[in-house]
Each structure stands twice: as structure tokens, then as C-alpha cells.
């Protein structure tokens, strides 16, 4: 697979992984490509913790699932991210960004227009949607053969200072290398994000992974090999659309959108 093909095929895995352990060879390859990312002054501010212990993964899954249920039931998640939620293919085609909820239980479909209202939130809670989502999330994380924690050296990551931007940029480049390489290795990857959405939950993971004071835990990902046929969760979304070049590229100055590249 060449680089352009890997970039075009890159995606987030919403579904389950195979139970097979990730081989040590593939773990080493993923860490090698992460370490080859660019960094300011070759500072290499990233650190990684690879987690295969089942009890640790189960505990992270508990934290993630309960976080998702809480964030979904109290409305904070929908309020924060509603600019990116799409409920029709036409809207997705027009906007070309965000997430299209194209798989929903039948009882919910008539109420998508009320998703961001108090009535809609009450309806979702009454139908047990937050619990369903939290349970699905817990299963996905618990069924992952490997978790990857990504940390930054606090001597480089100093919020409010320029070095903090440099270190965040470098971490993003390192993780993009990892993400593209999973495509080459027949693997999938997904950000375990919901513990960040609920106060106090992320600290539980920091303690669980015994992150030292000199490091900042920035993200946790779940990884594994992809099954031949991927089963979609009960509530799922797609995000294949990308903005056209004229929507995000300018020529010479920011007053002139790029033309002629949208075909």
C-alpha cells in the first residue's frame, strides 16, 4: 500500500476488533513510526504506554462507558457538539463535514429534528439511549486487545507558551503516523474520548496508568485487528464526506478560494 492510498483509506473504527492480540512486531512498528514524527529541535516530547492487561482494559472500559452514559444523559455532549451532528444525507452532502447518524433504532428516527431540545433529551433518556450508548461503548473498549496512552513531557508541554504548541503539533504528527500505519497492518483505531467529557473521569485513568507527575496524559486509543465483516453498533454514524478544496483552500490571499479543484 502506498502512502496516498493509506491516507485515503484512513478512518476511525466505530465497531469491534478481533480478539487476537496485537503482535509484538506490529506494536514495535507502530512505536517506530510514532518516533519518526517531526518535532521542534528534535525534542521528541511524546511518551506512550501500551496496555494489554485485561483487568486494566476492563477498568478503562467501565470508566469510558459510564462517562458516555453521563455525558449523553445530562445533555452536555449534544450541547457541545451539535454543530457537527447531521441527520440526513442531504445535509451531509451540503455541509461535507461532521457526522451523519445513518443508523438509529426505529423509535428514534422520527425525533431526530428534536435531538437538541429539552423534549428530545427527555425522550432519549426515557428510551434509554444514553444507557444503550454507554453499554455499547463499554463493550467496544473492553473488547479491545490493546490500549495506547499518549503523553507529553511537561517540560515541553507548557500551556500558554510556544513550546506547548510545538509539542501538541508533534504529538499530532506522531499519532497520524500511527493511524496511517494501522491501515497498512490491517488494524483499526479509535480515540477513547468520553472520560474527557465528564469531570473527574480522566483523573481515574491517569491514576490507573500510574502516569508520573512529569508527564501529561493527553489521549487514550483502542487498537486491534479488523474482522472481515464489521458489525455496526445499534446507534452509529458515518463521516466519509470531506469538504471540497474550494471550501478550505485559498490562493495567494484568504480572499480568493481555490477554483478548479472540486471535480
What confidence tens digit (pLDDT) does each residue in 111-149 have? 676 666 777 778 778 878 888 889 999 999 999 999 999
For 188, list phi and psi in degrees, rounded to 5: -125, 165
Helix axes 54-73, 129-142, angle to 10 degrees: 160
**Considering the entire predicted model, what is its pTM?**
0.90
Question: How high is the pLDDT of residue 249?
Answer: 96
Report the chain's mean pLDDT, rounded to a whole number. 91
Instruction: Give domain status of residue 253, yes or no.
Output: no
- Tally the domains of the chain: 1
Asked if the structure places residue 255 within a domain, the reply is no
Looking at residue 111, what is its pLDDT?
Answer: 63
Query: Is 204 part of a structural domain of the chain?
Result: yes
For residue 257, tell me if it sits in a domain.
no
Residues facing residue 100 across a β-bridge? 86, 238
Tell me which of 8-12, 60-64, 180-184, 204-208 is least confident: 8-12
Report the CATH number that the domain containing residue 96 is assigned in CATH: 3.40.109.10
Residue 231, domain member (yes or no): yes
Its domain, for residue 83, covers 3-247
pLDDT digits (tens, 9 = 90+) for 185-212: 999 999 999 999 999 999 999 999 999 9
Amino acid at each position: 500500500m502506498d502512502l496516498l492510498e493509506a491516507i485515503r483509506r484512513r478512518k476511525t473504527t466505530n465497531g469491534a476488533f478481533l480478539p487476537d492480540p496485537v503482535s509484538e512486531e506490529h506494536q514495535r512498528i507502530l512505536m517506530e513510526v510514532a518516533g519518526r514524527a517531526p518535532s521542534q529541535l528534535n525534542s521528541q516530547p511524546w511518551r506512550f504506554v501500551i496496555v494489554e492487561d485485561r483487568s486494566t482494559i476492563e477498568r478503562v472500559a467501565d470508566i469510558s462507558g459510564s462517562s458516555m452514559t453521563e455525558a449523553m444523559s445530562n445533555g452536555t455532549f449534544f450541547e457541545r457538539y451539535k454543530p457537527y451532528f447531521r441527520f440526513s444525507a442531504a445535509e451531509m452532502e451540503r455541509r461535507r463535514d461532521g457526522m451523519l447518524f445513518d443508523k438509529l433504532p426505529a423509535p428514534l428516527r422520527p425525533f431526530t429534528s428534536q435531538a437538541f431540545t429539552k423534549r428530545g433529551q427527555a425522550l432519549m433518556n426515557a428510551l434509554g439511549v444514553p444507557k444503550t450508548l454507554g453499554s455499547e461503548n463499554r463493550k467496544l473498549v473492553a473488547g479491545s486487545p490493546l490500549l495506547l496512552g499518549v503523553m507529553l513531557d511537561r517540560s515541553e508541554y507548557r500551556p500558554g507558551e510556544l513550546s506547548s504548541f510545538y509539542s501538541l503539533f508533534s504529538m499530532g504528527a506522531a499519532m497520524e503516523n500511527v493511524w496511517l500505519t494501522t491501515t497498512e497492518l490491517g488494524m483499526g483505531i479509535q480515540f477513547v474520548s468520553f472520560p474527557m467529557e465528564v469531570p473527574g473521569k480522566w483523573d481515574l485513568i491517569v491514576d490507573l496508568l500510574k502516569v508520573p507527575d512529569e508527564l501529561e496524559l493527553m489521549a487514550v486509543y483502542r487498537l486491534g485487528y479488523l474482522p472481515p465483516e464489521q458489525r455496526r453498533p445499534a446507534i452509529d454514524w458515518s463521516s466519509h464526506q470531506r469538504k471540497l478544496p474550494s471550501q478550505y483552500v485559498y490562493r495567494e490571499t484568504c480572499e480568493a478560494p481555490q477554483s478548479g479543484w472540486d471535480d
